[in-house]
Amino acid sequence: MISIRLFTIILLVLFNSAYGQDYLHESKAEYNARMQWWQDARFGLFIHWGLYAIPAGEWKGKTGHGEWIRHSAQIPVEEYEKFLKQFNPVKFNADTWVRTAKEAGMKYIVITSKHHDGFCLFDSKYTDFDVMSTPFQRDILKDLAEACRKEGIKLCFYHSIMDWHHPDYLPRRNWETTRTKEGADFERFVHYVKNELKELLTNYGDVGVIWFDGNWESTWSNARGKDLYNYVRSLSPKVIINNRVGQPPPSESGIGFRDIGIVGDFGTPEQEIPAQGLPGKYWETCMTMNDHWGYNSHDDDWKPAEDLIRKLADIASKSGNFLLNVGPTSEGLFPQASIDRLHAIGQWMKVNNEAIYGTSASPFATLDWGRCTQKNIDGETRLYLHVFNWPNDGKLVLPGMFNSPKQAYLLSDPHKNALTVSRVEDALVVNLPTAMPDTMNTVVVLDIIGKPDVSEPPRISSDDDIFIDTVDVSVTSDREDVELRYTLDGNIPSSKSELVHGLIRLSGTTTLSARCFRNGKPVSGTATETLTKVSPWRSMREENTIPGVLYKYYEGDWDSLPDFNKLKPVKEGSLPNFNFSPRNQEDHFGFAYTGVIRLQEDDVYDFFTNSDDGSRLYIDDSLVVDNDGLHGMLEKRGAVALSAGLHALRVTFFEKTGDDDLKVSYRSRKMPKRELPSELLFHSARK
């Protein structure tokens, strides 16, 4: 009979076998080493390609579709399967694709091995819904893997957890009334996903990243995400996995990390660049060149090359990666507009790539003329100054920089002709040529002695920049051994200006300026904030009201909030709060909610909408919160001074595709932030 001790040892051995190991608990050194190549790369190509390239965004006269077309156009599965016989990308050339990415300066490629429609671009023995069932009958990922190996590019796979085609995936789309869930086995589907991932990780050589998506539906969970994360790492211990493998992050698309229970190695903000980056985290902004991920022949809203180059510099300056998307045509070609932009980026990268690859975040919080990246070189620091706005006087100012300069030159100058650098109070000033060599982004190299020693301007903080009676303002700095001086007339503080002693109370409209000093000399730039005294908006006359808000429900395909007043609602009625219960479909809908809010006292109120997609909030017919546009869960805020009593309230919202949610919150000086409670929402009892 086996002893308890031996049984325990066997269990431990099994638990710590390849798949039993919990890879989320690797050491920080192991984690950083695994992420090193990816962090150094900074720039990659996203490719969204599949059957959806055939309709090219158009279905039954509507032209706003993309890779979600099967869902957004509500195409039955048997109808969508007909695209299999039409998929024949005879102009596809893996070598051309990979060379185009390489010449653009990209170091890795992430391609959709399978998107939400379930179609696989590779030869899978676990499904017939793949490229081998098309007239093309060639494993696209195999071709790409060979091309990437030749060019030294890391190949990575996007693989959707959600699958609208597989018979075992749940839930069904709510419009699939004839396709029941009878006989579906979700555990069998999870096994199918693992089988395909094993194919991807064992049949195509070294894979850099598995980029998951489609993780937000109720059938998935964080526990499943952890299991899948460990399964993938058991097959390829060095592979990198994004943070869409478990439960969705709690805030804007992709901003969530393992230290708050989110599974994965890096954050994935989508179509946006976090204002301050995500300090101390690995992250990657994924973004389209136009308005769609998959090919849409009608979408000509292309971002200029200058904008994309500056976005690359902005992201690198915040220690992030840029994953820029292309949606190839059904023939297997990159759209010419994408090629043109990749070529322009590549021309810039040929000259300036050292200012991107292997760099770390800027030591400056803000720079009004551009961005900064940096590298440590033998204990000294090289600053790459990305100049977007060429100073009219030719003087490039680096405020609060206390290091001594060694040399400065234009990165585009093959002779490295020296630029003179001088000191003016707290700042280093680089004297530039009269003309800007590259109007998109000219990089100036500045070598300094030691690690960056930067003193940022003080922080001026108040609840809001408006107030009713008085407001208390704090002025603080992280800099040690400094004194903070301020003025209340907008002038730059001098060594004789008032010292900060605690909170500064203001009773009238004031422009407050603050600066750090040491030994009577300024050691930072100047921070300035204008705080305005206002009168609260008058409340409405009391009238007969009943609880809840009125709603109008609309259906349509929008990229931003339409003028609902010009549209006919599908439904209308009343609700206790801002919910979606009257909707008929998961995507392509909108709501306009109207009513009044009852406030207990005069105060400055902050209102918030957190929505996916766009939303706006109006008080007394004035726009207070503008959170419009296509995006994941994103919160915006607005402040307004209101009198006690009733105030008209209107909230508008639209949803295109993907996840959907709307949260409306508020706070005052005396009350912490919370969702608007139903008991404060009313509408007129008059018909």
Query: Which DSSP string do the residues of 371-420 spell out, in sequence order?
Result: EEEEEEETTEEEEEEEESS--TTSEEEETTB-SPEEEEEETT-TT-PPPP
Backbone φ, ψ for residue 179 (5° rounding) = -105, 95
Domain match, 524 and 592 both: no
Look at residue 14 and tell me whether its pLDDT is greater than 50. no
**pLDDT > 70 in the chain, percent:** 95
DSSP 503-538: -EEE-S-EEEEEEEEETTEEEEEEEEEEEEE-PPBP
Residue 450: strand pairing partners: none
Q: Read off the DSSP letter of residue 266.
A: B
Using CA atoms, how far apart are residues 671 and 412, in angstroms rounded to an integer? 55
Q: Which of 507, 512, 525 is nearest to 426 (CA)?
A: 525
Asked whether residue 414 is assigned to any structural domain, the reply reads yes
Can you read off the two tokens belonging to residue 541? 């006359």
C-alpha torsion angle, residues 256, 260, 263, 269 (rounded to 10):
0
Burial class (CB in 10 A: 0-12, 13-18, 19+), 170: middle
In the listed set 328, 355, 382, which residue is the last one of a domain according to the structure? 355
Task: Kindly report which listed range (64-68, 148-152, 210-214, 682-686) carries the lowest average pLDDT score.
Answer: 682-686
Using CA atoms, how far apart are residues 373 and 384, in angstroms rounded to an integer? 5
Domain residues for the domain of 406 are 370-448
Query: What are the E-state strand segments in 411-461?
Result: 421-424, 427-431, 442-448, 459-461
- Report the sign of the C-alpha dihedral through residues 475, 480, 485, 491, in that order: negative
- At residue 255, the pLDDT reads 62
Asked whether residue 1 is assigned to any structural domain, the reply reads no
Domain match, 418 and 351 both: no
Can you read off the two tokens belonging to residue 70? 């099967």
Residue 622: strand pairing partners: 619
- pLDDT digits 0-9 by tens, 24-79: 889 999 999 999 999 999 999 999 999 999 999 999 999 999 999 999 999 999 99
- pLDDT digits 0-9 by tens, 74-132: 999 999 999 999 999 999 999 999 999 999 999 999 999 999 999 999 999 999 999 99
- At residue 543, the pLDDT reads 76
**pLDDT > 90 in the chain, percent:** 84
Domain match, 257 and 386 both: no
- At residue 248, the pLDDT reads 73
- At residue 531, the pLDDT reads 96
Section 358-382 average pLDDT: 95
Domain match, 65 and 141 both: yes
Asked whether residue 362 is assigned to any structural domain, the reply reads no
Coil, helix or strand at residue 325: strand
Asked whether residue 360 is assigned to any structural domain, the reply reads no
Coil, helix or strand at residue 683: strand
Look at residue 172 and tell me whether its pLDDT is greater than 60. yes
Task: pLDDT band for 250, please (50, 70, 90 cuts).
Answer: low
Asked whether residue 453 is assigned to any structural domain, the reply reads no
| CA distances, 441 to each of 416, 429, 602 (Å) | 18, 19, 49
Query: What are the E-state strand segments in 232-277?
Result: 240-241
Domain match, 82 and 194 both: yes
- pLDDT digits 0-9 by tens, 398-416: 999 989 999 999 999 999 9
- Look-up: residue for tokens 């206390």? 402
Domain match, 40 and 161 both: yes
Domain match, 346 and 476 both: no
Section 147-163 average pLDDT: 98
- At residue 258, the pLDDT reads 64
Q: Read off the DSSP letter of residue 276.
A: T
Q: What order of strands is seen across the sheet that includes strand 108-114?
A: 240-241, 207-213, 154-160, 108-114, 43-47, 321-326, 284-287
Coil, helix or strand at residue 144: helix
Task: pLDDT band for 673, please (50, 70, 90 cuts).
Answer: very high
Asked whether residue 538 is assigned to any structural domain, the reply reads no
- At residue 18, the pLDDT reads 47
Residue 104 one-letter amino acid: A
Can you read off the two tokens belonging to residue 285? 């902004």
Section 523-546 average pLDDT: 92
Q: Under 8 Å CB-to-CB from 248, ≥6 apart: which residues?
A: 215, 216, 256, 659
Q: Which of 131, 138, 53, 116 is nearest to 244 (CA)?
A: 116
Asked whether residue 596 is assigned to any structural domain, the reply reads yes
Let me know: does 557 contact 62? Beta carbons within 8 Å. yes
Backbone φ, ψ for residue 605 (5° rounding) = -110, 135
Number of domains composing the chain = 4
Using CA atoms, how far apart are residues 592 and 573, in angstroms rounded to an integer? 11
Look at residue 207 and tell me whether its pLDDT is greater than 50. yes
pTM here? 0.86
Task: Kindly report which listed range (3-12, 77-86, 113-122, 575-584) carries the lowest average pLDDT score.
Answer: 3-12
Using CA atoms, how far apart are residues 558 and 615, in angstroms rounded to an integer? 12
CATH number at residue 660: 3.90.182.10
Residue 410 one-letter amino acid: L
In the listed set 498, 533, 568, which residue is the last one of a domain according to the structure? 533
Domain match, 212 and 307 both: yes
Look at residue 8 and tell me whether its pLDDT is greater than 70. no
Residue 176's region, left for phi above 0, alpha for psi from -120 to 50, else beta, is beta
Note the helical H segments in 53-139: 69-72, 77-80, 94-103
Domain match, 58 and 160 both: yes
Can you read off the two tokens belonging to residue 353? 């790539």
User: How many C-beta neighbours within 10 Å does residue 145 have?
Assistant: 20
Asked whether residue 365 is assigned to any structural domain, the reply reads no
Using CA atoms, how far apart are residues 199 and 190, in angstroms rounded to an integer? 14
Domain match, 30 and 112 both: yes
Using CA atoms, how far apart are residues 500 and 509, in angstroms rounded to an integer? 19
- pLDDT digits 0-9 by tens, 305-323: 999 999 999 999 999 999 9
Domain match, 424 and 512 both: no
In the listed set 482, 503, 533, which residue is the last one of a domain according to the structure? 533
Using CA atoms, how far apart are residues 360 and 479, in angstroms rounded to an integer? 22
Domain match, 409 and 280 both: no
Using CA atoms, how far apart are residues 134 and 194, in angstroms rounded to an integer? 24
- pLDDT digits 0-9 by tens, 477-516: 988 889 999 999 989 999 999 999 999 999 999 999 999 9
Using CA atoms, how far apart are residues 495 and 519, in angstroms rounded to an integer? 9
Look at residue 219 and tell me whether its pLDDT is greater than 50. yes
Section 356-381 average pLDDT: 96
